[in-house]
Amino acid sequence: MKYFALIFFCIFSLHATEDPPSFAVFTPPKTWEIVSPETLPGHVVVSFVGKSRKELAPSINLAIEEISCSSAEYLKIVKNLNRSHSGNKWRDLGKFKTEAGEAHLSEIETKIPSGTVRLLQLIFVHDNRAYILTAGALKEEFARHYQEFEGALKSFSITKDLFSCITNNEKKEKLLEAIAHLKENKLSRDAFLNPQFQESTWIPFQNQFLKDSIEQGAYFQLLALQQIASQLLIE
Amino acid sequence: MKIFIISLSALLMLLSAPLVAKEELSQLAEQTDQLYRAGCGAEDGVYTALSSSMVAWGVGAVVVIAVLVGSLHSSTAHSGHNH
């Protein structure tokens, strides 16, 4: 099921996105599941959900918005938007250190029929883009998930070279070699999606890649597979 | 000669003014639109955090219901067999 979802993401990305100038990466909690991209609104690029015995599962998502204002102006707009919703409680938690640098953290509490939800929203502005990581859970369960949220938010980074995230040099070299070998196949979109190519070449590569890059987390794996798949295609 | 140059300049200005205004207006409209839409990413994030969580619970609920239905079915079949 996981492999199918990854192939689906790769195919989806070939249709929906252009190569971004830089990659925003974060490491979601290990056992959390990716949400189907079809259900995500415009700015949200990825979302993960955890497991819960309550009515609402914990989740974390990354949204990216092109902006033409400064970081301070954007934060002010978001603050006003959140305060304008009746029933919402918004609290500024100040600066928060991430791998990408200093970001801004805020807390939102909102009521839904099954209870009160507490959300943490991290905003990082870079190169006319606002990167927004939103993590949330039921208020009564929030403390139980706090460490997972904190770890995911801290791991947020922006990089031009996606594979620089792999710190183990041996694994990195092995992977780059496998990618170079794979790149010898220049394919049309149809040839890439051909079940024979998928079964004989792409899926074995993907399985090995998922095994070797497990430490970098599911979102890194997703972005890397998207990038490799797009590099295989004839433009 | 002076009159000719002034007239020509005035004419050029008159002709180019609507074009410049049009360009500036569309730029202003674009900027206003961007400002109006700014913050959508943050709102989408909040919406997704709530909806994804509920969808996950919905999937969990479907699984629980399926298991319940399965167990009810097997227990009914079992008691039916006893009768």
Domain ranges in chain B?
A: 1-38, 41-83
From residue A214, alpha-carbon distances to A21, A30, A153, A221, B68 in Å are 24, 9, 18, 8, 35
Whole-angstrom distance, CA of residue A124 vs CA of residue A172: 28
**Which residue on chain B is closest to A80 by alpha carbon?**
B39
Query: Looking at residue A125, what is its pLDDT?
Result: 94
Domain-wise residue ranges, chain A = 2-18+162-232, 23-159
Whole-angstrom distance, CA of residue B18 vs CA of residue B15: 7
Classify A62 as helix, strand or coil: strand
Question: Positive or negative CA dihedral for A218, A220, A224, A226?
Answer: positive
The minimum CA-CA distance between A44 and chain B, rounded to whole Å, is 6
From residue A145, alpha-carbon distances to A107, B55, B83 in Å are 15, 19, 50
Query: Looking at residue A21, what is its pLDDT?
Result: 61
**Which residue on chain A is closest to B32 by alpha carbon?**
A68
Query: Looking at residue B61, what is its pLDDT?
Result: 44
Question: Positive or negative CA dihedral for A102, A107, A108, A114?
Answer: positive
* Low-confidence residues of chain A: pLDDT under 50: 1, 3-17, 19
- B16 part of contact set with chain A, CB < 8 Å: no
Residues in B touching A26 (Cβ below 8 Å): none
Whole-angstrom distance, CA of residue A135 vs CA of residue A149: 6
**Bridge partners for A102 per DSSP:** A97
Residues in A touching B40 (Cβ below 8 Å): 42-43, 65
pLDDT tens digits, one per residue of B40-78: 899 889 888 888 766 555 444 444 444 444 444 444 444
Query: Looking at residue B63, what is its pLDDT?
Result: 45
Whole-angstrom distance, CA of residue A121 vs CA of residue B45: 8
CB burial of residue A202 (10 Å; 0-12, 13-18, 19+): buried
- Test A130 with B35 for CB contact under 8 angstroms: no
Query: Looking at residue B66, what is its pLDDT?
Result: 46
Query: Looking at residue B27, what is its pLDDT?
Result: 61
- B52 part of contact set with chain A, CB < 8 Å: yes
Query: Looking at residue B11, what is its pLDDT?
Result: 82
Q: Provide the whole-model pTM.
A: 0.71
Residues in B touching A89 (Cβ below 8 Å): none
The minimum CA-CA distance between B34 and chain A, rounded to whole Å, is 7
- B40 part of contact set with chain A, CB < 8 Å: yes
Range list of β-strands (E), A26-156: 33-34, 44-49, 59-66, 89-98, 101-112, 115-126, 129-138
Query: Looking at residue B83, what is its pLDDT?
Result: 39
Chain pair A-B, CB pairs under 8 angstroms: 122
- Test B44 with A123 for CB contact under 8 angstroms: no
In words, the CATH class of domain A23-159 is alpha beta
Residues in B touching A83 (Cβ below 8 Å): none
First CA to last CA across chain A, in angstroms?
30
- Measured between CB atoms, which of B43, B44, B57 is closest to A57? B57
Q: What does residue A107 show for φ and ψ, rounded to 5 degrees?
A: -125, 135
- Measured between CB atoms, which of A47, A69, A73 is closest to B48? A47
- Test A68 with B52 for CB contact under 8 angstroms: no
% of chain B exceeding 70 in pLDDT? 37
Whole-angstrom distance, CA of residue B46 vs CA of residue A49: 14
Query: Looking at residue A157, what is its pLDDT?
Result: 92
% of chain B exceeding 90 in pLDDT? 0
Residues in B touching A61 (Cβ below 8 Å): 45, 48-49, 52
pLDDT tens digits, one per residue of B17-46: 666 666 765 665 555 555 556 788 998 898
Residues near A90 by beta carbon (within 8 Å), at least 6 away in sequence: A79, A82, A83, A106, A107, A108
Which is nearest to A139 in space by CA: A125, A119, A121, A160? A119
Tell me the ipTM for this assembly.
Answer: 0.75
Whole-angstrom distance, CA of residue B49 vs CA of residue A74: 20
Instruction: Spell out the alpha helix ranges (H) of A17-162.
Output: 71-84, 139-154
The minimum CA-CA distance between B67 and chain A, rounded to whole Å, is 16
